[in-house]
Structure 1
């Protein structure tokens, strides 16, 4: 059992100290989420205020308050997140922004697949919430698109992973990452038992009946909920909320045909690609990340 880290006050709400604060056997309890804004036009401007120290159901939370400003290395990344595997392939630094420390990930000009890329093994869950904050900097080049974090389920008896434009056979795992595409258009990027494309199925985020796109210099709290399907039934659920507003929902998914594995992995990724230089950025592009949190209850909205 990992040791819980002490927490400190940051700004107007409590945040967990940097590094992994996992305790999968004894979830924290406390007050539920503060209701999100009710005006849909505020989706780009109002981030739900989450008490990361006391919010009900948190089982793991990573922020960067215990890190000094400066370079953030692969070893620091793997230690903080308790990754099974991981690497900083671009440039990463801890910076202070809006009164708290953030992880600044920079994709160097004329490169692709340069950012952060990691996988973290989890205790298996039948349902789980995963959230994080992201802010795309003022000069961020969305280019053709790139990968964002998400939950996954890996079958330990299968050598391959459900990603990389691979087929997914029966009970060979699933991954439920998101992507940004051209001009910040946001999509779910899903590998699952019934996918219809060579790579992941792409499902647009929707807000007020239109495709949703990220804006630069706006902070987004992205929260994903996943519930496993019953064996031999296509009733698995994945929903995604942005700043407390639902932008994607599917309730007909097959993640494990026979129910032999569950949610047991976290992909922590931010990189452009794609597998060729058409996905490269045309200028140095930096995004700012914070508050990677696993929970048994929603944090940014009420059930």
Structure 2
């Protein structure tokens, strides 16, 4: 199997990149190794592969733009009482921005409009974390030009020209995909059919696969998200979420690129996290922190690439 066309990883301490399996030849012999040793050795092998570009974990290198005011990163701080950063009556908490990756990656996304893209990051919630009702986590976004931005928050205009695929944590650390997609009946049918539980929220996004995995406070989790764009006029788009190298959500038969928005494409990561929801019953019950690291991206050429690699 060939390597992805472009791949990069950002970290701040020379550490390992996200847990991606590319070739069996890249990995050391797994015989007589524990699962934890396998994960560690696989990460080291991949992180030193010559086809992976290493970049600093900073705004310029990552192509960060449209940063939400009053927030900091890569450590997300959630003061007691903080909720959606758009709420002007609550403390600012979490973080929010868009990133399109390093220049070469961003240019490839724009000029070549790849069919399939993988992006990944690590996240850790502090020990003793209180989940409350839930909150947002980063995910891939895209669409036609600037209509790709702010595809969330109950937006209804130009929904046929954008998509936003953030994740969420819910009560007791349950994870889910929180998806805004073009309003198409077939998309609804595909989304609400994903186990163990999926919900369509009126005027908002879809909660997809709630409880398909769980986060553990004090433990790093590697989140990888794969998006395959559909051909215009065909329902053959795919969204896949993997956690620590395991596929936990796979939705096929979708339409992300519509006839009204045939130029829709993946544009990068909507790197946003906050408690909420909008109302105070979602607010962080105490001062808390979460950390993000090892932000990575790859442009895939084979529709089956991610399932072969992870």
Q: Which one scores higher on RCO, CA 8 angstroms, separation ≥ 6?
A: 2
Larger helix proportion, structure 1 or 2?
A: 2
Question: Who is 1:292 aligned against?
Answer: 295
1:1-303 aligned within 5 A:
10=14, 13=16, 34=27, 49=43, 53-55=47-49, 58=52, 64=57, 78-87=59-68, 89-90=70-71, 92=73, 103-113=74-84, 114-121=93-100, 122=106, 123-124=109-110, 125-156=114-145, 158=147, 161-167=150-156, 169=158, 171-193=160-182, 194=184, 195=188, 196-197=200-201, 198-204=203-209, 211-258=212-259, 259-297=262-300, 302=309
- The question of whether the paired residues in 2 share the 8 Å contact of 1:170 and 1:256 is answered with no
1:103-136 deviation per Cα after TM superposition (whole angstroms, max 9, x unaligned): 3322011111311100124423321100000111
In the superposition, relative to structure 1, how do residues 63 and 170 fare at CA in structure 2: closer, same or farther (>3 Å)?
same
2:284 is paired with a residue whose SS is coil
In the superposition, relative to structure 1, how do residues 91 and 117 fare at CA in structure 2: closer, same or farther (>3 Å)?
closer
Structure 1 residue ranges without an equivalent (≥5): 17-28, 65-76, 93-102
In the superposition, relative to structure 1, how do residues 299 and 221 fare at CA in structure 2: closer, same or farther (>3 Å)?
farther
CA RMSD after TM alignment: 3.8
- The question of whether the paired residues in 2 share the 8 Å contact of 1:30 and 1:56 is answered with no
- The question of whether the paired residues in 1 share the 8 Å contact of 2:10 and 2:294 is answered with no
Shift of 1:276: 2.0
**TM-score if structure 1 supplies the norm length?**
0.70
> CA separation in 2, counterparts of 1:283 and 1:271?
13
* Count, aligned residues: 255
1:149 is paired with a residue whose SS is strand
- Tell me which moved more, 289-298 or 152-161: 152-161
Shift of 1:148: 0.8
In the superposition, relative to structure 1, how do residues 270 and 134 fare at CA in structure 2: closer, same or farther (>3 Å)?
same
**TM-score if structure 2 supplies the norm length?**
0.69
1:147-168 deviation per Cα after TM superposition (whole angstroms, max 9, x unaligned): 1111111222648632111226
